[in-house]
Structure 1
Amino acid sequence: MSQLDQQLRKKAYEEVEKQKKVVNADRYRLAYHVMPPVGLLNDPNGFIQFNGIYHLFYQWNPFATEHGAKFWGHYTSTNLVDWQHEDIALTPSDWFDKNGCYSGSAIEHEGKIYLFYTGNVKDEHNNRETYQVMAVSENGLDFEKKGVVLNLPEGYTPHFRDPKVWEHDGQFYLIIGAQSKDETGKAVLFRSNDLHHWENLGAIAGAHIGQFGDFGYMWECPDLFTLDGQEVLVFSPQGIESDGIHYQNLYQAGYVIGELDYEHAKYNHGAFVEIDRGFEFYAPQTTVDEQGRRILIGWFGMPEEREDAHPTIEHKWVHAMTLPRELKLVDGKLYQQPIVELKELRKEEVSYPGVELKSNKQSFDKIEGETLELFMENLEKNEPISINIRNHANIVYSPKEQLLKVDRISFVDGQTVEERFCHIETLDNLRIYLDTSSLELFVNDGEEVFSVRIYPKITETGISFSSEGKAKVNLTAWKL
């Protein structure tokens, strides 16, 4: 560990201690989501289960609630529910990462964790250089940087980052989000026999490749994995224009499904689908755990879109991670379901079977509060339904339009109503996870998902239901 590395760690830990009271005094601190101890959190990194322990690293600026020279913060868990904050994994302390240890991934090999990340470097004129770097740990807690393993290849700008690594048929593969010299987004594939030396197999997906025409100026955080015999590529393209109810956020996160010919490095895939319909979701990363589940965690935030308006900034922190979600393919579509371990959060249960909703708002005893899991089963699938959450958000299903809308009061001005939508043929069920300042909505067992940050007043804890038709529902809720 270099002297600069020690100095940066010491400075970060001092900032955590200095701001601890201010951070913890924030009534919007979440009860069961991963958050930074101070400062700004963004992309999930290095998500892996190693020796039975889940490791989740994250992009972290401990010194401000804005983006800067990123560290890798580190959480561990035995159950994906209770998280313990560990010592800093990586600091921007070397020539190849002095302006930030940017996003990356992890793989287990020969009983060790290998981290791959992007080293960000800028000169005095703000010109960018980019390097792909490897670090190794035997215990999952202490990491030794091994230096640069991949330099910027020809044909790309220095916007070349976020390596995701995996093993297939005895060889290692690495995919990187990139911007080609014509300023279009690409996903670039590499292959290695030893994790140290990488062969460039070229761009396998991107703008003007395959069925894509213009499709963004930069692709971030690619993640390619096999699920039910098909290869799914999850990525976050920047520069997609809004299109009706689609692509409403500044940047997108979504996926394509197809088949990867590893031998010839050819990827044939279908159309791009948004992975989350909410306001705050970006840069998701997945891992396979020892049970064989493909689990996803996303950044509960959105880069460069009103980040400085979150009220938590007054308490020296901003952003969080989404809940872990198990991925499944259902009829060619990616479904996301809350991991079953979240049931461990449940406390008191209340149930209201066969309730007929009316046009006036109805509330139900003990279905309220800041931290709640709510499951609604719709018994009359062609009737409109509205749910009001803490006077701050609404979930509205319109069967005529086959449309589900989620709206909220903007945290920018506290007045403007913002909306997001998805198409669904019928509303079978909803599962809602409420936390102090967040809402995660799973529609029809994960067919669609909305991730939403909300900032109600402390007195606004009620939840109400209504219908302009004759909707009949089963309601079950748990305090969390």
Structure 2
Amino acid sequence: MNKKEYLSRLDEQNKIKKLMKDDKYLLNFHLIPPSGWLNDPNGLCEFKGINHIYYQYTPFSAEWGMKLWGHYTTEDWITYKDEEPFLFPDIKEDKDGVYSGSAFIKDDEIYFYYTGNVKYTDKKYNYISDGREQNTILIKSKDGFSYKDKKVLLKNTDYPKDMSCHVRDPQIFEKQGNYYMILGARDLDDIGCVLIYQSKDLENWNYHMKITTPKKFGYMWECPNLIEISGQIFLICCPQGIEQDGINYANIYQCGYFPLEIDFERKEYKIGKFIELDRGFDIYAPQVFTDEEGRKILLGWMGIPDAEYTNKPTIEHKWQHALTLPRELKAIENKIYQSPLKELSKLRTTENREIICDSENVEINFSFKKCIEFKIELRDSIELNYKNNILTLNLEKCGYGRKERKVYLKNLESLQIFLDNSSIEVFINSGAEVFTSRCYCNKLNSNLKFIGNYILKDFVWYNLKNFKIENGER
């Protein structure tokens, strides 16, 4: 779908937008597609005071389809502009979709790297070892809204010979005057890994090294981000093919990180134990960027591929999926902590300390002096239970196939809960753990009830106003 075809179908898009307006589950303070389908955040960056949020976008269908890069911008994380789609599949090396990628700013210019997808259909293929191209492509922009040319940097033949056709999702990491391109990959033995290429000029790349675990950990690592927080390096990625282990790794595909010690010059590394970034049902493909304040900011896809559960209520209104709230990342030793951006406090309207909480879109904060057991009922069908050091999110009555997700806690110290019309995000113990999920309650007012064996330090809840979307429908 090139830009001309997209523009020819705007009447079709407007019809979808009208259907969306009637959906009571339309999210109010999360970014959703203007129409159709949204998945991975892409190309996140702040450039000249403007935060650019690109994302995988299928504008005319609520199901998986041809991918563009949609585009939102914001200067304050409260008011957004719905910009024209930024990137279209319009060359032979990306003809079946402009897949995920990232942004890197250098010399007053944004370098965008992405995967161009090509799928052969002339005969039968397995699409693992054959039948697919995953081309790494570069575009450069002076403003984040336009570009001139696409340059193909790497093709399948440029990846190591033991790789499958699945090599994608480039991200750039700078260290000691060198540039490193990080690519998620699957080898021919079905072992997940990350490939690293090196460059001096951001355009000419040579294979440098590979990172994987000593023992196989999944068959594919998607959406890798190599980030440094307070001198500690972490490899965030989404491994596929991990078996559930008790309450851990409960989703079909995982979303987490490895603490990493790496010497790029010697091509040596030590990889730590994988830690889940989020314990909810709907979290995948997170991307991190550094803003002009130096903050490490994460946005994730509030969805997951190939899940058993569904988003039927929104699909019926011709849209599906959202992005998470933006989160600032900090690290203590080998642990990443996630906190909603401080700017989100501007969403707060009234502050309430009464136990009665019957609003629809709210932020609820608990802090505890002591907590042995605890049960919270939210709305008519969401439960949070804490017992024997296990915190459980139960969505069985409103999850359309979502049931329970759990996490072990040494102590329960605090909860920060965000309820939008059809989502819940729970930040536990100052963001040491997080639950992110979609939910479809019959009644949207919060109806807060809680009982248990605990001593509260503080309790407060806030009504939240909506994001303002300029050029959009909200």
Structure 1-normalised TM-score? 0.91
Distance 2:305 2:454 in 1: 42
Q: Does 1:402 align with 2:389?
A: yes
1:297 corresponds in structure 2 to 299
Contact 2:368 2:454 in 1 (8 A): no
Q: Does 1:88 align with 2:95?
A: no
Deviation at 1:80, TM superposition (A): 2.2
Q: Secondary structure at the match of 1:22?
A: helix
Deviation at 1:8, TM superposition (A): 3.0
Deviation at 1:417, TM superposition (A): 6.8
Per-residue deviation, residues 295-339 of structure 1 (Å, max 9, x unmatched): 111100011114654310000000000001111112421111111
Where do residues 364-403 of structure 1 align in structure 2 (5 Å cutoff)?
364-365=355-356, 367-381=357-371, 383-398=372-387, 401-403=388-390
Give the total of aligned pairs: 454
Deviation at 1:476, TM superposition (A): 0.3
1:17 corresponds in structure 2 to 14
Q: Does 1:68 align with 2:65?
A: yes
Deviating more after overlay: 97-106 vs 470-479:
470-479
Aligned counterpart for 1:465 among listed residues 407, 428, 450? 450
2:206 corresponds in structure 1 to 199
Deviating more after overlay: 89-98 vs 163-172:
163-172
Q: 1:410 to 1:148 in 2, by over 3 A?
A: farther
Per-residue deviation, residues 54-88 of structure 1 (Å, max 9, x unmatched): 11110111121222221000111102232211111
Distance 1:103 1:376 in 2: 37
AA aligned to 1:462 is N
Structure 2-normalised TM-score? 0.92
1:258 corresponds in structure 2 to 260
Aligned counterpart for 1:164 among listed residues 164, 167, 171? 171
Contact 2:380 2:443 in 1 (8 A): no
Deviation at 1:233, TM superposition (A): 0.3
Q: Does 1:318 align with 2:320?
A: yes
AA aligned to 2:380 is N
Contact 2:330 2:338 in 1 (8 A): yes
AA aligned to 1:175 is I
Contact 1:236 1:283 in 2 (8 A): yes
Per-residue deviation, residues 121-162 of structure 1 (Å, max 9, x unmatched): 012236211100011111111133322111221221111100
Contact 1:297 1:321 in 2 (8 A): yes
Contact 1:8 1:93 in 2 (8 A): no
Q: Secondary structure at the match of 1:311?
A: helix
Contact 2:398 2:441 in 1 (8 A): no
Contact 2:42 2:287 in 1 (8 A): yes
Q: Secondary structure at the match of 1:455?
A: coil
Q: Does 1:475 align with 2:459?
A: yes
RMSD of aligned C-alpha atoms?
1.6
Q: Secondary structure at the match of 1:118?
A: strand
Q: Does 1:450 align with 2:431?
A: no
Contact 1:384 1:471 in 2 (8 A): no
AA aligned to 2:312 is H
Aligned counterpart for 1:132 among listed residues 136, 149, 161? 136
Give structure 2 stretches of 5+ with no counterpart.
126-130, 465-474
1:328 corresponds in structure 2 to 330
Contact 1:306 1:412 in 2 (8 A): no
Deviation at 1:15, TM superposition (A): 3.4
Distance 2:421 2:402 in 1: 20
AA aligned to 1:86 is E
2:353 corresponds in structure 1 to 351
Deviation at 1:411, TM superposition (A): 5.0
Contact 1:432 1:439 in 2 (8 A): yes
Q: Secondary structure at the match of 1:46?
A: strand
Tell which has more relative contact order, 1 or 2 (C-alpha 8 A, sep 6+): 2
Give structure 1 stretches of 5+ with no counterpart.
353-363
AA aligned to 1:162 is D
Contact 2:360 2:420 in 1 (8 A): yes
